[in-house]
Amino acid sequence: MKKTVTRLADGRELLYFDAHDGTVRDAVDRRTLDPVASASEIRHDPLLDESVAIASHRQGRIHHPPADSCPLCPSTEAWQSEIPAPDYEVAVFENRFPSLSGDNGRCEVVCFTSDHEASFADLTEERAALVLAAWTDRTAELSARGGVEQVYCFENRGTEIGVTLAHPHGQIYAFPTVTPRTAAMLRNALVHRARTGRNLFDDVLARERAAERVVLAGEHWTAFVPYAARWPYEVHLYPHRRVADLTGLDAAARAEFPRIYLELLRRFDRIFGPGRPPTPYIAAWHQAPVTGPGRDEFALHLELFTVRRASGKLKYLAGTESGMGAFMNDVSPESAADRLREVASS
C-alpha cells in the first residue's frame, strides 16, 4: 500500500491510498476556498453523564447535489471536487463541515471508490483490503493525537439513514471523549471480569458461535445476529482473536476480512428480494478507547444494521426508543439469521 499526503486549497489534509507503490498523486487543488470556519463545542449532560457536540455550522453543508457536481467524485476540467485527482482508489480528507474540530476532535471522510454509482458491496476484495488498510492507518494516526480518546470508523448508506451525498463513502470521527455505548460496554466488561475472571466479549462470542444465529463464519471471523438484537436485521462481526482496535489485527485476519465482509454486505442487499432498492444500513466499527482502564478488556467488532424492517417499511425510533432508549424489535433474531443465510451467494 502507498499513502500520499497532500493539502486542499483551504489547508485541509487529503490522503490517497493506493494498492501499488508506483502510483503518483500530484494533482493540485485549483479551487479558491475560504478557510474552514467551524465552531464545534462539547457540552456535558450531567443527568446522563454524556457529552453532546454542538455544531451549528453544519447547517450549511452540501445536501443531495446532482451527480455532475458531486464533491466526492474525481475532479474534471468542468468540475473541481474535494479530490483534485482525475481518478483515485481510496481517498481520505478532513471534512469541510466537521461535527468535531480543533481541541474537540477531528472528522474525516473516506471515499471507497471513484465510481459514483458503486457501493461498498461492489468493490473487489483488493479494494476492500485497501479500505481496511486506510481505516487502520487513520486509527493509528488519530489515536496518537493529543486529546483524542476514541476513533470511530463508520459508513452510513441510504437516504433513509440520512445520507446527503450518494457517492460511496464513510467517515471517521476522532472523539475527545469516550462514546456512551463504549463506556457502557467497558463498565460491563470490567464487572464481568471481576465476577467471573473471564472476558465478557470472549464469552459472548463463544456463546453466539454455538447458537443458531451464526450468519457467516470463516477461519478468523464470525458474523452473527445477536441474541438481543435491537434492529430488524442486525449482524455483529468479530475477529476470533480478541484485539482492542483495527491496528491489532494480524495478517491472517486482514486477508480474510474482505471476502467475509463483502459477502455480508451483498446478503444485506438481497434481504428484501430481487428488484428492491438497495438496503439502507449503518456499518459501525467499535474500537477500544485510546487509553484508560479496561482497554485490554475491549474487543474490536463491527455492527451492521438496517432501519428497514420489511419491503417498503422502516423501523422508526419513536416513543420508547427515542424517548427512553428502550428498543422493541419487530423481527426475531432467529428469523433474521435464517433470512441472511437464505440469501447467501451461490
> What is the tens place of the pLDDT at every residue in 3-40?
999 999 999 999 999 999 999 999 999 999 988 777 78
Let me know: does 242 contact 202? Beta carbons within 8 Å. yes
Confidence class of residue 294 from pLDDT cuts 50, 70 and 90? confident
Let me know: does 220 contact 188? Beta carbons within 8 Å. no
Residues 281 and 249 in one domain: yes
Q: In whole numbers, what is the pLDDT of the chain averaged over residues?
A: 95
Can you tell me the mean pLDDT for 322-328?
94
> What is the tens place of the pLDDT at every residue in 65-93?
887 889 999 999 999 999 999 999 999 99
Residues 150 and 269 in one domain: no
pLDDT at 67: 74
Confidence class of residue 199 from pLDDT cuts 50, 70 and 90? very high
Residues 169 and 214 in one domain: no
| Structure-block grid coordinates of residue 14 | 487529503
Residues 165 and 243 in one domain: no
pLDDT at 60: 60
pLDDT at 57: 67
Q: Which of 143, 175, 207 is the last residue of a domain?
A: 175
- The answer to whether residue 178 scores a pLDDT higher than 70 is yes
Number of compact structural domains in the chain: 2
Q: Which of 175, 199, 232 is the last residue of a domain?
A: 175
Between CA 87 and CA 83 the distance in angstroms is: 9
Can you tell me the mean pLDDT for 221-247?
98
| Structure-block grid coordinates of residue 24 | 503518483
Residues 250 and 167 in one domain: no
Confidence class of residue 61 from pLDDT cuts 50, 70 and 90? low
Can you tell me the mean pLDDT for 256-269?
98
Residues 186 and 333 in one domain: yes
CATH number of residue 249's parent domain: 3.30.428.10
Residues 115 and 23 in one domain: yes
Can you tell me the mean pLDDT for 36-58?
86
Between CA 139 and CA 176 the distance in angstroms is: 14
Residues 130 and 211 in one domain: no
pLDDT at 37: 74
Residues 69 and 164 in one domain: yes
- The answer to whether residue 284 scores a pLDDT higher than 80 is yes
The pTM of the full predicted model, rounded to 2 decimals, is: 0.95
Query: What is the extent of the structural domain holding 337?
Result: 180-342
Share of the chain above pLDDT 70, in %: 98
Can you tell me the mean pLDDT for 260-272?
97
Residues 313 and 214 in one domain: yes
Residues 171 and 270 in one domain: no
Alpha-carbon dihedral sign for residues 113, 118, 120, 125: negative
Residues 229 and 329 in one domain: yes
Q: Which of 111, 145, 175 is the last residue of a domain?
A: 175
Give the active site residue among 20, 44, 169, 220. 169
Confidence class of residue 59 from pLDDT cuts 50, 70 and 90? low
pLDDT at 242: 98
Residue 169 annotated in active site: yes
> What is the tens place of the pLDDT at every residue in 113-163?
999 999 999 999 999 999 999 999 999 999 999 999 999 999 999 999 989
Let me know: does 3 contact 24? Beta carbons within 8 Å. no
In the chain, beta strands by DSSP E: 2-7, 13-18, 41-45, 50-54, 90-94, 106-111, 150-157, 169-175, 214-217, 221-224, 233-239, 281-286, 301-306, 308-310, 313-314
